[in-house]
């Protein structure tokens, strides 16, 4: 099991993250990807733009300041795009990026920890509270109920666009799995598993648990179910961008925070 003081292990995992995950593997559901220098300008269904990159090629602040409005103009020229996320990582060399993003109307969201660890460390038996059951879902009604619950937990308006995007991805059969925990037919926790083709990784995303059900092992059990599925698909490592709620769960299983990620959001 990975130990928190293993700096060499942290460096190895971060290198694997940068090499294996910051490519097309990061955006499997993209409907368009345009390259602009080091940037990947990605369009998703539902009017969502996304900007990511493996690194910024040691560009100085002046070059980065020019790059930001060029990237944004790619999306503002398309009236269908209503929001854009620029995904930053704390370990990148990116002088002047924060100021350039803010000057161009991007607003920083809360930073999250990039967590990586062994899938086997998560695939443990967890005793669920009485009446709680876990299952994988794929039917439209279940997906919409799951998506609505996640929106509510995250304090967002319930979005049909997000649910429709998940349903389209399931129909594409790209390996994504949706998992939920229920009590009396009500979804109280949920999350995605995204095996990354051609890599050692699977990602766990979208983890959300209703407030009254937190601290009872439900999310940990959901994570264990996804880890077992990842192992069955031949994946060795799990990665996740974790909030302060989910990070301790992963740390108790020996996961390491290898860096941070902060999304910067622009809305039309």
Instruction: Note whether residue 128 is domain-resident.
Output: yes
Do 147 and 207 share a domain, yes or no? yes
Do 134 and 170 share a domain, yes or no? yes
Instruction: Note whether residue 236 is domain-resident.
Output: yes
Do 93 and 202 share a domain, yes or no? no
Contacts of 262 (CB under 8 A, 6+ apart): 88, 90, 108, 109, 110, 111, 112
Do 89 and 139 share a domain, yes or no? no
Instruction: Note whether residue 242 is domain-resident.
Output: yes
Do 55 and 28 share a domain, yes or no? yes
Q: How far apart are CA 199 and CA 234, in angstroms?
A: 10
Q: pTM of the prediction?
A: 0.85
Instruction: Note whether residue 216 is domain-resident.
Output: yes
Instruction: Note whether residue 11 is domain-resident.
Output: no
Last residue of a domain, one of 90, 113, 136: 113
Spell 126-144 as b/e; 16+ CB within 10 A means b: eebeeebebeebeeeebbb
87: left (phi over 0), alpha (psi -120 to 50) or beta: beta
Instruction: Count other Cβ atoms within 10 Å, centred on residue 227.
Output: 24
Tokens at 110, concatenated: 């809360």
Last residue of a domain, one of 67, 97, 113: 113
Instruction: Note whether residue 91 is domain-resident.
Output: yes
Q: What is the pLDDT along the chain (268 residues), one digit of tens a residue?
A: 555 556 888 999 999 999 999 988 888 889 999 999 999 999 998 899 999 999 999 999 999 999 999 999 999 999 999 999 999 999 999 999 999 999 999 999 999 999 999 999 999 999 999 999 999 999 999 999 999 999 999 888 888 888 998 998 899 888 999 999 999 999 999 999 999 988 999 999 988 999 999 989 999 999 999 999 999 999 999 999 988 878 888 898 889 999 999 999 999 9
Do 125 and 211 share a domain, yes or no? yes
Contacts of 58 (CB under 8 A, 6+ apart): 93
Last residue of a domain, one of 53, 78, 113: 113
Instruction: Note whether residue 8 is domain-resident.
Output: no
Assign 156 to helix, strand or coil. coil
Do 44 and 57 share a domain, yes or no? yes
Do 75 and 183 share a domain, yes or no? no
Question: Which residue range forms the structural domain that includes residue 35?
Answer: 22-113
Instruction: Note whether residue 200 is domain-resident.
Output: yes
The domain total for the chain is 2
């Amino acid at each position: 099991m990975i130990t928190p003081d293993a700096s060499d292990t942290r460096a190895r995992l971060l290198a694997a993250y940068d090499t294996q995950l910051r490519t097309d593997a990061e955006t499997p559901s993209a409907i368009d990807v345009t390259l602009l220098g080091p940037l990947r300008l990605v369009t998703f269904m539902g009017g969502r733009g996304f900007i990511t990159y493996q690194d910024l090629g040691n560009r100085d602040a002046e070059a980065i300041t020019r790059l930001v409005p060029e990237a944004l103009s790619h999306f503002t020229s398309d009236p269908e795009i209503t929001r854009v996320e620029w995904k930053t990582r704390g370990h990148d060399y990116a002088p002047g990026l924060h100021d350039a993003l803010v000057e161009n109307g991007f607003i920083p969201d809360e930073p999250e920890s990039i967590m990586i660890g062994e899938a086997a460390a998560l695939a443990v038996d967890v005793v669920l509270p009485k009446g709680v059951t876990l299952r994988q879902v794929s039917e439209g009604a279940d997906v919409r109920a799951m998506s609505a619950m996640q929106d509510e937990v995250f304090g967002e308006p319930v979005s049909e666009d997000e649910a429709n995007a998940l349903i389209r991805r399931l129909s594409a059969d790209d390996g994504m799995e949706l998992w939920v925990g229920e009590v009396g037919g009500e979804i109280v926790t949920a999350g995605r598993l995204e095996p990354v083709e051609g890599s050692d990784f699977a990602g766990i995303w979208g983890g959300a648990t209703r407030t009254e059900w937190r601290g009872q092992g439900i999310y940990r059990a959901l994570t264990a179910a996804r880890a077992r599925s990842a192992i069955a698909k031949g994946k060795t490592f799990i990665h996740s961008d974790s909030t302060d709620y989910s990070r301790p769960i992963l740390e108790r299983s020996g996961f390491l925070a290898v860096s941070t990620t902060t999304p910067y959001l622009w809305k039309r």
